[in-house]
Amino acid sequence: MTGTLEVVNPFDLTTIGSVPLVGWDDIDGSLKVATQLHKTRKAWLPAHQRAAILTKAATLMQDRFEDLAFQIANEGGKPLVDARIEVTRAIDSVRLCVHEIAGLAGEQIPMDLTQAGAGRIAFTQREPIGPVVAISAFNHPLNLIVHQVAPAIATGCPVLVKPADDTPLSCKSFVDILLEAGLPEEWCRFVPCDLATAEKLVTDPRVAFFSFIGSAKVGWMLRSKLAPGTRCALEHGGAAPVIVDKSADFDAMIPDLVKGGFYHSGQVCVSVQRVFAPKDMAEEIAERLGSAASQLVVGNAIDATTQAGPLIRPREVDRVADWVAEAEQAGAQILTGGDKISATTYAPSVLLGVPKDVKLSQNEVFGPVVCVYEYDSIDAAIDQANGLPFAFQASVYSQNLKVAMQAVQHLDATAVMVNDHTAFRVDWMPFAGRRQSGYGTGGIGYTMHDMTQEKMAVIKN
């Protein structure tokens, strides 16, 4: 035992639970067992057993739906209405893993394309890559864990999972559900630990695949220290841009942008942050966004009426306040918000005319702040949107197909939403950051592919 991790409600900071931290000796033992499981092919779980376990797990999650939703809201600060959506997505994601198991198939490789290959038959099959280590983030404490752990189980990889320090309870609940559903304990270990122990785990040469969701600073640091041969996937953040064309349907767009910008108080890696609007329309758009944002109910996420909850830690409230103050001092106009409500909450805020060189324009805010910028031409807006060292999802609002396609083709993003906000996602689509925003591609099927490796058999007749 190396200590205890206390879990608090991020709104009122009351203690709601705790989990014991796991020390290196225990983790080393679990990793040794995981490595042996992978090496001993007779110990591999057959596909039908993996599918049955995940199917049972989805049923147990459905049975505990409200408890899981309350836990997400209570430890992570996501409003209860959104926490329920997360539980639904998590259940669907587990079921999607079951569906994708049938797709873990190889293909026939034609060999007689030249004389050298004639007289041979070749085919491929996919095998589990080996022990997986997953480190997750706080903002979707159940569904992110599902996206990292359930694909490992589905592909037959033993997995060790370290949750975010702020939100370990949802992770533990999911691991416990997997075990209750029939998964042998050695195939999935819950290993909350300190950063030094986590780094030692991640960089161990026995790790075959490392899955990380969290800050770019930590993710890229850990990737730089991986042992030779360890594969990885990193998911970080961005400062999602929205291009508004003069033909956009403002009545439909405004509630969209409010949802995309203030969902989970902006603590989403693809949250709407930078809105680029025609110069003669920018003020009106900012005012309408500000008016809608000012009506959001801020409070404890476990209250049914709350629409925007707390930030995960008080220091994040202070950071957002500092960034907004810097922008205001540099000439930005605050149309709504712009201040702390309490030590743990920040008012949903809309700013207009934010200078390009302040932190709000240069970095991911990860808080309830949307900035509106004026542009003279679509080309100039796209150039500014592409001007940061990270890129994730983007969007364009337009009723003009030519303009929409211009944005799709020229925005530097892995996905461009047309007439939808940047935070849209379904769990089977590819989901990835470019440049400093990440490495590899998420999404259930894509993660399962990464957690397997291809083997070819060539049979000479």
Instruction: Write down the catalytic residue from 75, 86, 100, 235.
Output: 235
Long-range contacts of the stretch 439-442 (C-beta < 8 A, 24+): 439/223, 439/232, 439/233, 439/234, 440/232, 440/233, 440/234, 441/233, 441/414, 442/147, 442/233, 442/235
- Tell me whether residue 235 is one of the annotated catalytic residues: yes
- Selected catalytic residue, list 97, 157, 193, 269: 269
Residue with tokens 């959001």: 296
Q: Which helix (H) or strand (E) holds 278?
A: strand 272-278
27 backbone dihedrals φ, ψ, rounded to 5°: -65, -40
DSSP 297-332: PBS-TTSTT-SB---SSHHHHHHHHHHHHHHHHTTP
97 is known as an active-site residue:
no
DSSP string, 33-91: HHHHHHH-GGGSPPHHHHHHHHHHHHHHHHHTHHHHHHHHHHHH---HHHHHHHHHHHH
Angle of helix 80-101 relative to helix 65-76, nearest 10 degrees, comes to 120
**8 Å CB contact between 242 and 422:** yes
Instruction: Return the SS3 of 102.
Output: coil
Strands 415-418, 393-397: pairing kind: parallel
Q: From residue 22, how far is each of 111, 174, 192, 195, 213 by CA, in Å?
A: 51, 18, 6, 11, 20
User: Using the 8-state DSSP alphabet, how is residue 442 labeled?
Assistant: B
CB atoms within 10 A of CB 146: 28
CA distances from 60 to 48, 66, 87, 90, 293 (A): 18, 12, 12, 12, 37
Residues β-bridged to residue 4: 20
199 close to 180: Cβ distance less than 8 angstroms: no
Residue type, 418: V
Active site residues: 235, 269
